[in-house]
Every structure is written in C-alpha cells, then in structure tokens.
Copies of this chain bind each other. A is one copy, B any other.
C-alpha cells in the first residue's frame, strides 16, 4: 500500500576514481558540455568561461577518461608503425619515442613488419583491415615511392621519418642531413685533413644522397677537388663498410680521414684500419653518422653526428595524431627539421704530422 519506497540511490559503481566532467562543470558553474568544449579546444567559448573551466580542471585534477571519450565520439586513432629491417638500435629508439607520444595522445600504435617480398597491395590491404588511420614510416620505407602512393590512394595519412625527399602529400620529420654532412667534413678540413674519404650509404635511401652532397659541398667550398677514388659505395651494413674501407685504405695515396654515412660502416672502417695496421685516430680519423649504440661499442669510440631518433619519432607521431584529428579539415602536410648534434669522441684527430 501507499507509495513504494524508492530504494536509495545505489552506491556508485566506481570506487573513488578521479573527478569527471560533471565535477568540473559544477565547480566552474557551467554545463558538462562546455567543459567538453574547453577540453577539446573547440571554438565558441568565451575566453573568461574557458579560464574558469581551466581553473576548475586544475583545481580538481581532472583527467579525461579516454575510454569514455572514444566511445562517445566514435573516434579512434590507430597508427601503424611500419618497419622493414632498419637496425635494431634504430627501431628500438624509434619505438620508445613513438610509443611515448602515442600513449600520451591516447592513440593506438600497431607495429607491423614489412618483408620486402610482400607485395605492397597485400600490405595495404592488411592495414585497411586493421582500420589504420595513419602510418609511421621510418627509413627505408620512408623512401618507398610505391608504398607512399598506395597509402595515399587508400586515404591513409602518413609521416616519413628521416627521408631526404618528403612527399608533397605526406608529413615528414628529418634532420638536415646535408648540413650535418657538411659540418663533419668542414671539421675534418679545419683539423687539417685534405684527403678525406667518403663511404656512401644505400642508394635506396634519399638521405644517402644528401649526406654525399654535404660532403662534396664542404670540399668544394674549401677549394678541395672532389676525387672519385675517395668515394666508396656502401649500403649501410657493417659488411659493406668493411669492403668500402678496404678499398679506400688500399689507395696508393690513402685518405687521412674517412667519413662513413652511418655508424655501422664507420665501425667497420675502424676494424679495416686495424687490419691494415693503422692506428685510429693518429693515422686515420673516422667519423660516423647516427650515434647508434655501436658508436660507443667499438674502440676507439666513434665521433659521429647524433640524430635525435626518439624525438623524431615523437614528432612524427604527434603530427599524425593532429592530422587524424583534423580529419576532413585536412591541413597541409608539415615538413619539420630537427637539430642534429656533432659528437666528438676518440676516433678523430688532426692528421699525423700536422
């Protein structure tokens, strides 16, 4: 009889979790929607309202719940990290950087290995089925024109990392490879070296050409003739470095310094020098590129140029997240250059007798 007694509001399911939009809204004296607008940086919010909400967010220590967000918005940011055997050291640093940014931005990172044998079409189909929004392309994939075109055709956003030739339709993050190579070469010249060998990198990576261009430009600038004999072709592997260095060191007038296009080949050059009975750096200066782990593994440790791989990965990931969010409001792809750092270690010195 009479009214049924309404049961007391059930105790909340969640147990003492963080504050929600509602809490913030109450404190700021606005609706939850307005809080949402502020969080998502939407327009049409009075500056003073925005401030009030931001103060409330700070006061409550509110952090948006990503699950609720993506459920409500139906949005999701899935980024594939495509890789085809770059060196493990490179990949590892890259992964750490992009994973950090991805989780900070609440994006999902999928790591996909691309064997060279797999047809591009199959790969793209695989990405499609995983519902990928964007792809992160470290070298050498960043320079795979067919892949870039296929991704573009599928409407998958992409970011090329460390490419020498950014595509007009892709985001890109690189360092100034040519400038770095010039820097190294100039330093050799300034130290008194005149016969400077160069070990080129794999031609399937555009950065290789830039590094060579930097080397040549620095020589020209200093009035030193470019000598084809001093340029040996490598492919970024230790093995190729061994052969290239052997060729340079066998020259009747051998170089007093060698600039290898990456650390693996520079390390190989150290080994080749030792085999040839040359002391490094007294009789041969050697400089690498990238500052990967091998640079400090060999003896003497390599002078090299540090590429901020993790930072590059972070930036590239961020660019993709922003591009995904922009969605239809497609912003023009951005091409960023990050700073490199010359790192002097024990493998370089002025030429003997200077």
Contacts and interface: CB of A to CB of B under 8 A. Distances in A.
Contact of A67 (B70, B87, B275, B292): B70
Contacts of A293: 87-89
A293 B298 CA distance: 15
Count this chain's copies in the assembly: 2
Main SS of chain A's interface residues?
Answer: helix
Contacts of A108: 103
Contacts of A274: 274-275
Interface stretch (A92-100, A164-172, A206-214, A219-227): A92-100
Interface string A233-249: 00001110010000000
Interface string A251-289: 000000000000010000001001100000000000000
B93 A95 contact: no
Nearest to A96: B111
A349 to B, nearest CB: 21
A110 B101 CA distance: 10
A93 B83 CA distance: 12
A65 interface: yes
B238 A88 contact: no
Nearest to A264: B297
A10 interface: no
Contacts of A70: 67
A6 interface: no
A71 B71 contact: yes
A239 B300 CA distance: 10
A109 interface: yes
Nearest to A108: B103
A174 to B, nearest CB: 21
A133 to B, nearest CB: 14
Interface string A56-71: 0000000001111111
A314 to B, nearest CB: 12
A164 to B, nearest CB: 24
Interface string A288-330: 0000110001110000000000000000000000000000000
Nearest to A271: B271
B99 A95 contact: yes
Given A264-B297, A297-B238, A74 B17 contact: yes
Given A88-B88, A95-B99, A274-B274, 4 more contacts: A14-B74, A89-B92, A96-B111, A242-B299
28 contacts: A14-B74, A66-B67, A67-B68, A67-B70, A67-B71, A71-B71, A87-B293, A88-B92, A88-B93, A88-B292, A88-B293, A89-B89, A89-B92, A91-B92, A92-B95, A95-B95, A95-B96, A95-B99, A95-B111, A99-B99, A99-B109, A100-B111, A103-B110, A239-B297, A264-B297, A271-B271, A274-B274, A274-B275
